[in-house]
């Protein structure tokens, strides 16, 4: 079953068809095909995008991050592919400081699209899986020219969300509000085809993902959780854990969908990182919707991601997601810490010695 057919049949099962949403999702998958082709060519001459695609020279985005040429290309592909169909009245992207209004020559629609055109692009040089993250929202009734506040909707208002993977196999993983389904690009026929129906995050897992180079900045609840995992069978958890870190959100989330576990990009003590690093509207919200629909959970450590009321277009938040029991354990640690109940907690792995620092032997008199 192709992605396009699945959308139609899913809507029929749920009581009616929304031709605008179907057309928009088809435009999204077309954009992902163009980006997949561009990514697959690597250092070769870039493949063409849709008509009108013109990539500006890379610089820095609104977050001060260095852009790759493919960041700009992917952003332009999404704009050109999705702007003309009449389903949207506006878009917003990681690569644009301001929202994008549909050009006047095109009809307006009932939806808003927010996206990260190329998540994990810092990994392009080392040929690691990257992807696209997208979220679809309804525009307020009667709005043809959206303003910033129209995009600032909590994640619970998302109509559909998902992400594409550009790796050994190109995929789209998406939810339309009733389960999560994975589609693999069959290049012989040029269609995303259903290969992973009704994806569910395993409840029991022994993997966690975190960037341990930031260890010294973690809050005590995160240190506590990681130490317990590192202690393995000898510790309170009674089992050994593996640690992963890909630095590509889409790849991390896909692994958790398949194998379970916990992904952490938590709040830390650096002033530049408060209150978090990942963007709420076009990273955390769509990923959280996918994770929850697959039976998992997503939180800041103190608040459910989908309940957060956005305050700005590029707002950042901490993100902890994965198998529900593991997320709940870490949330409980945050709650205990905030109540002052873990003040006696001792973390030798992160005190005089750590995962990466060998203690200096005591000198003998």
Does pLDDT of 180 surpass 80? yes
Token pair listed for 243? 């640690």
Q: What is the mean pLDDT of residues 6-15?
A: 89
Lowest mean pLDDT among 40-49, 158-167, 219-228, 256-265: 40-49
Does pLDDT of 153 surpass 50? yes
Give me the pLDDT at residue 16, please.
Answer: 77
Its pTM stands at: 0.89
**Please, what is the average pLDDT of the chain?**
90
Asked if residue 275 has a cis previous peptide bond (ω within 30° of 0), the answer is: yes
Residues 23-76: tens digit of each pLDDT: 999 999 999 999 999 999 888 866 666 766 665 555 565 555 667 889 999 999
Q: With contact defined as beta carbons under 8 Å apart, do 248 and 123 qualify?
A: yes
Does pLDDT of 291 surpass 50? yes
Domains for the chain: give ranges and CATH numbers: 3-196 (3.30.540.10), 207-350 (3.40.190.80)
Give me the pLDDT at residue 351, please.
Answer: 47
Quote the CA–CA distance of 25 and 135 in Å, as a whole number. Answer: 10
Does pLDDT of 127 surpass 70? yes
| Residue 191, beta-bridge partner list | 186
Give me the pLDDT at residue 360, please.
Answer: 45
Does pLDDT of 319 surpass 60? yes
Give me the pLDDT at residue 43, please.
Answer: 80
Q: With contact defined as beta carbons under 8 Å apart, do 283 and 291 qualify?
A: no
Give me the pLDDT at residue 98, please.
Answer: 96
- Of 357 and 139, more confident: 139
């Amino acid at each position: 079953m192709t992605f396009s057919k699945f959308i139609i049949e899913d809507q029929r099962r749920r009581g009616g068809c929304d031709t605008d949403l179907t057309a928009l999702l088809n435009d999204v998958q077309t954009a992902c095909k163009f980006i997949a082709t561009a990514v697959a060519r690597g250092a070769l001459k870039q493949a063409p995008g849709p008509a009108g695609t013109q990539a500006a020279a890379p610089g820095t985005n609104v977050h001060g991050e260095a852009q790759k040429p493919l960041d700009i290309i992917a952003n332009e592909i999404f704009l050109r592919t999705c702007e003309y169909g009449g389903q949207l009245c506006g878009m917003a992207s990681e690569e644009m400081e301001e929202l994008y209004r549909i050009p006047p020559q095109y009809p307006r629609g009932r939806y808003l699209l927010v996206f990260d055109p190329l998540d994990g692009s810092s990994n392009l040089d080392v040929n690691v899986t990257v992807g696209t993250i997208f979220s679809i929202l309804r525009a307020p009734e009667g709005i043809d020219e959206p303003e910033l506040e129209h995009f600032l909707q909590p994640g619970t208002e998302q109509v559909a969300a998902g992400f594409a993977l550009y790796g050994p196999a190109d995929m789209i993983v998406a939810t339309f509000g009733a389960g999560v389904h994975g589609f693999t690009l069959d290049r012989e026929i040029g269609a995303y085809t259903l290969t992973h129906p009704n994806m569910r995050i395993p409840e029991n897992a022994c993997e966690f993902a975190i960037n341990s180079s930031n260890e010294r900045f973690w809050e005590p609840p995160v240190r506590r959780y990681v130490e317990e995992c590192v202690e393995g069978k000898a510790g309170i958890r009674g089992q050994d854990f593996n640690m992963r870190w890909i630095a590509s959100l889409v790849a991390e989330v896909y692994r958790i969908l398949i194998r379970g576990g916990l992904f952490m990009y938590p709040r830390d003590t650096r002033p530049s990182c408060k209150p978090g690093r990942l963007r709420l509207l076009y990273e955390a919200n769509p990923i959280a919707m996918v994770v929850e629909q697959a039976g998992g959970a997503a939180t800041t450590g103190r608040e459910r991601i989908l309940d957060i009321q956005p305050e700005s277009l590029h707002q950042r938040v901490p993100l902890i997601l994965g198998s529900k029991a593991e997320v709940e354990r870490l949330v409980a640690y945050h709650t205990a810490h905030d109540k002052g109940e873990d003040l006696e907690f001792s973390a030798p792995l992160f005190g005089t010695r750590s995962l990466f620092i060998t203690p200096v032997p005591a000198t003998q008199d």
